[in-house]
Structure 1
Amino acid sequence: MTQIRKLTQLCPIQTALLKEKVMLVDRSDNIIGSASKEEAHLMSNITKTGMLHRAFSLFLFNSDNKLLMQRRSPQKITFPNLYTNTCCSHPLFTIPLETDPVTGTKHAAIRRVKDELGITDISFEDIHFMTRIVYFGASGASDTCEEDACTWGEHELDHVLIVRKDVEFVPNENEVSETRYIGREELAGLLEDEENFPVTPWFRIIATSMLTHWWDQIDRLHQLGDDKIHEFSFPPGLKGEV
C-alpha cells in the first residue's frame, strides 16, 4: 500500500521538514537525546540501534461524536496516501514548550493541527491526554539505495490525545489529501476493507485496542486517561528489549 520512492523524488517541502529535531527517548519516555526527523525515520537507524522517538496522535471528535480522519498526502515521506487519525506528528526538541512529556505534546498538537488542517480554535484545555503506546511500522524503500539506508519507518513512543469540539478546518494539501468525519460503526466496517481504506499502523493499533472504549465513554474522557506505556510492536530483533 505504501509507495517506494528515491530520495530525489521526495517533495522539497517535506524533505525540508526532515531537518527538524525530534526527541529520542528510552522506553520509559525519558529524553536521552535528539535526532533529525530523517535520522529518526531511517530503518537502518531503527533496526541497528533501536532508535525510538516521541510522537503524538490526536483524535478529534465533533459534537455528533464522529471522528475527523485524514488521508495523508502523496507527498508525505512515510506512509503516503494512508488514512489516519486527525493529526499525527512530533513535539520538537528545539521548542522548549514541547519537551515536557504531557504538556509538551499538547503544545505540539496545537501547532501541528494548524499546520496540517488550518485549525486555530483548539486550546490547551481542550486536549485530553489518554495514554502512550510504543509501536514499529515499516513504510518503504528505494531499490536504488545501498543496503536499507533509504528505507523509511516509524519506531515511536506515541502520546494519544483526544479533543471533542466542533472546529473549522482548511486542509494543507501538501500534508492532507482528504478529510472525512466517520462514525463508530462505520469505522469498524472500513477497517476490514484494507484495499480501499488502507490505514497507518499506529491508527490500526489504537483503533482496534483502545478507541472503542473511549468512544463509548466520550463524556468521561477526563477520567479515562492512564500513565501507562503500552508496547505493541517492535523493530526486528528488539522485542522485549528495554
Structure 2
Amino acid sequence: MAVEEIVLLNADDEAVGTAPKAASHHRDTPYHLAFSCYVVDTEGRVLITRRALSKRTFPGVWTGSCCGHPGPGEGLRDAVLRRLQDELGISGVSLTSVLPAFQYRAVAEDGTLENERCPVVRADVPAGTPVRRNPDEVEDAEWWTWRQCLDLAARPEASPWYRLQLAELAPLGEPHEWPDAGTATLPPALGW
C-alpha cells in the first residue's frame, strides 16, 4: 500500500514539497494543503459525519461531510471526488467552490496541531442518494437540516474547522444558496 503524501505549503500557499501524511501530523504539523466538502441534497439537507473513533486526530468529532488532503499534482475536484467515494461511497456529484481561501489552525486534546489551507466545496446530490460509509473513516453519517448544522457549531463535539467554516458559511444563507466563489483565490499549489 502506498504511503499517502500531503502537499507542504509556504506562506504564499505555494507548494514547497511533500511529506507522509501520518508522520506529518503532530505538535508541530507543517502548513499543508487540505479541503472540506459539504454534501447537500435537493431537499436542502446536509450530510454531517462523525469521524471514526479510530482516527488518530480528532477522533469522534462531528464535522462536515468529508475532508481530506489533495495528493501531489492532484486538483481539488479530483481530490474531493476521490474522498467522497472512499469515505461515503458517493459519486456523480456536482461541485461548487464556496470558500476557496479558507485556512485554519487547531490543536487537538492530545496536542496534535492541524495547520491547513483548506478550501471548502459544496457537493450537490439528489435527495435519497445512498451513503455507504467507510468505518475506518466515518463513525456516523446523518442528513441534517441547516438549523441542526448551525446548532452543532455551538457545541463542543463539533470539529474546530467545522465551527470556523460555519461562521463563514452561515451569512451566505441556506446551503443550496451558497454562491459559487470561483477558483481565482484557490492556493497557487492547487488547481480546480
- Identify the TM-score tier after normalising by the shorter chain: 0.7 to 0.9
> What SS does the corresponding residue of 1:178 show, helix, strand or coil?
strand
Q: Are 2:139 and 1:177 equivalent residues in the alignment? A: yes
Using the alignment, how far apart are the partners of 1:217 and 1:172 within structure 2? 25
Q: Deviations over 1:184-233 (max 9, x none)?
A: 22222233332xxx11111110012x2123343734633x446447xxxx
1:41 is displaced (CA, Å) by 1.0
Q: Percent identity?
A: 25
Q: Say if 2:153 and 2:162, in contact at 8 Å, map to a contact too.
A: no
Structure 2 gap segments, 5+ residues each: 187-192
1:175 is displaced (CA, Å) by 0.8
Using the alignment, how far apart are the partners of 1:188 and 1:90 within structure 2? 25
> What SS does the corresponding residue of 2:35 show, helix, strand or coil?
strand
- What is the aligned length? 184
Higher-Rg structure is 1
Using the alignment, how far apart are the partners of 1:180 and 1:25 within structure 2? 33
Q: Are 2:91 and 1:127 equivalent residues in the alignment? A: no
Q: Mark the CA change 1:220 to 1:159 in structure 2 (over 3 Å): closer, same or farther.
A: closer
Return the TM-score normalized by structure 2.
Answer: 0.86
2:123 corresponds to:
163
> What SS does the corresponding residue of 2:54 show, helix, strand or coil?
coil
Which structure 1 residue ranges, 4+ long, deviate > 6 Å from structure 2? none
Using the alignment, how far apart are the partners of 1:35 and 1:90 within structure 2? 12
Higher helix share: 1
1:84 corresponds to:
63
2:190 corresponds to:
none
Q: Say if 2:154 and 2:163, in contact at 8 Å, map to a contact too.
A: no
Equivalent of 1:117, from 59, 67, 88?
88
Q: Say if 1:23 and 1:33, in contact at 8 Å, map to a contact too.
A: yes
Q: Say if 1:68 and 1:182, in contact at 8 Å, map to a contact too.
A: yes
